[in-house]
Amino acid sequence: MNPRAMPADRLAQQIAFLLEADKLKTVIRRTPLVDASRRENSAEHSWHLVLAAMILREHAAADVDLPRVIEMLAVHDLVEIDAGDTFAYDATHQLTKDDREAAAADRLFPMLPPDQAKRLRALWEEFEAGETPDARFASALDRLQPLLQNAGARGGSWRDYDVNRGQVLRRMAPIESALPAAWPIVLKIVEDFCASGVLRREQQ
């Protein structure tokens, strides 16, 4: 691409996209802040995952491209601007998640110049597919950070939504394979919250 081709239009498109992205700050997730003062939004969550990637990269099970992981995390929730946050343990809402998010991607990414729209959408799709080492590591961070915040906030979204141990462990599975050093921490948190009665054990 010739960068002198309509630079003003290109910059105007980019700025319009950045202004639209501001709306991610208004998408409220189920996860509480560590101090339990309020629930977090998807923009600050995305920042936290970028920081977590920088700090925890050395524990990734596979060789990952940190700059790609970080860019993936920065865009991984943008579709929630239209689709909203879909609670991990809401099975009904999960059924429509893919369609709602694909429609959001169709609207949001094309606000950018075509080359950037294509690149960011590909990063988001790679994250959603969860198959590459970069996506698997990103996904593990996206599971671990809310778990840590829930634990800090003494149960948080588990306490509010009657979640059981098996659901949490299935949700956390990407950590076991992509960030194995953190798996004992996950197991300990889950067992502690079962012991205190916040997390139900499965029906036996």
DSSP H or E segment with residue 20: helix 7-21
Cα–Cα distance measured from residue 22 to residue 73, given in angstroms and rounded to the nearest whole number = 16
Closest to 133 measured CA to CA, from 174, 74, 190, 192: 174
* Residue 189 touches a copy of itself, criterion: CB under 8 A: no
Task: Give the distance between the most distant pair of CA atoms in the chain.
Answer: 67
User: Hey, which residues between 60 and 79 contact a copy of itself (CB under 8 A)?
Assistant: 66-67, 70-71, 74-75
Q: Choose among 157, 172, 163: nearest CA to 28.
A: 157
Position 146: which residue type? P
**# binding residues, a copy of itself (CB under 8 A):** 49
Q: Residue 56 or residue 169: which is nearer to a copy of itself going by CB?
A: 56
In whole angstroms, the minimum distance from the beta carbon of 92 to a copy of itself comes to 29
Contact code string over 76-105 relative to a copy of itself, x by CB under 8 A: ------------------------------
Work out how close the CB of 95 gets to a copy of itself at its nearest, in angstroms, rounded to a whole number: 29
Site string for a copy of itself, 103-142 (x = CB under 8 A): ---------x---x---x----------------------
> Measured between alpha carbons, how far is residue 49 from residues 11, 21, 42 in Å?
28, 17, 10
Q: Compare residues 18 and 95 and give the one whose CB is closer to a copy of itself.
A: 18
Closest approach of Cβ 96 to a copy of itself, in Å?
A: 26
Query: Candidates 89-97, 100-108, 130-138, 148-156 — which segment interacts with a copy of itself by CB under 8 A?
Result: 148-156
| CA 127 from centroid of its chain's CA atoms | 9
Token representation of residue 38: 């309020």
